[in-house]
Amino acid sequence: MKKVLSVVLAFATFGMVFAQTSSLSEPDPTVIGADSAKQALREVSVDRFEIEGSWNSHISPDYGVISSRLFEGSPAMKEPLKGDEEAEDSKVLGAKVEFFRRGVNSFYIKSTRPIPIEGVTKTVSVWVAGRNMAHEMFLLVQDYYGNNFELFLGNLGFSGWKKLTVAIPPTPDGEHGIIQQSAYDGVRPGLRILGFRIDCNPMLARGQYYIYFDDLRAVTDLYDVENRDEDDMNDDW
C-alpha cells in the first residue's frame, strides 16, 4: 500500500511540474543563470531585417553561389513586441543558395557589423522558414572579451515559419564559457550577435535552396542597467 501511495504522489508531483511549464520546446529565461532574485528580464528587438544591405550571405565558391535580399512579408503567428507595436516590421530577409554538387558544406548569413545586446542575455530567438530541409542552423555570437561561439538553434526540417530559440549558457566561474559581464574591465554590452551558420545535410545540398529570416529578439536581464544611479560614473575611460 505504501509503495502504491508513493507512486501516486510521484505522478501527481510530476503532473504539477509539467503543468507549470508553458512549453517544452523553448528555454525558460527566468531560470537561466538565476543565482539571485535580482533580475529585470526584458524582451528586446535585436533586428527586424528591415534595412537592405545590413546582412551579408556567403558560401565557399567551391560549393555554390548564394544571394540574399529583403522581401515583403511577415510570419502570421508572430506577436508584436510589447510597447513597440508601431515600429516598422513589414519585411523579411531571404537567401537563395545554388549548389554545384552534393557534399558537406555550410553557408553563412552575417550582420555587416556585430549587433550588441545590453545586459546579460538569457535567450535569443528568430523566426525562420526552413523549407522542410534537414539542415542544421547555428547562432554565431561574440562575448564580452571578443571570443566567438556558436550555439545550436535547431534543425530546419519543418514547413512554413517557426520560431527557433536558444539559451545562452551562463559562465560557470566568470572565466570560462560565454562571459557577458565583468567587474574588472569596464562597462560594455555583454553579448554581440554575429549571424547564423547553416550546416547542410550532404544528401539534400543540391539544386536550389531558399531560407527566410525575421524578427531577431533577445530576452535580457537589465537589472544592473536599470538600477544604476544617474550620478554614478561609467568605468569606460
Each residue's pLDDT tens digit, 98-116: 999 898 999 999 999 999 9
Q: Which residues of 163-183 are buried (b: 16+ CB within 10 A; e: fewer)?
A: bbbbbbebbeeeeeebbbbee
**Global pTM?**
0.83
Q: Reply yes or no on whether the pLDDT at 215 is more than 80.
A: yes
Q: Residue 21 is which amino acid?
A: T
Question: What pLDDT was estimated at residue 82?
Answer: 87
Q: Is residue 149 very low, low, confident or very high in pLDDT (cuts 50, 70, 90)?
A: very high
Question: What pLDDT was estimated at residue 34?
Answer: 61
Question: Bigger pLDDT: 10 or 52?
Answer: 52
Percent pLDDT > 90 in the chain is 65
Mean pLDDT of 18-32: 61
Chain position carrying cell 511577415: 74
Q: Is residue 43 very low, low, confident or very high in pLDDT (cuts 50, 70, 90)?
A: very high
Question: What pLDDT was estimated at residue 20?
Answer: 38
Question: What pLDDT was estimated at residue 234?
Answer: 74
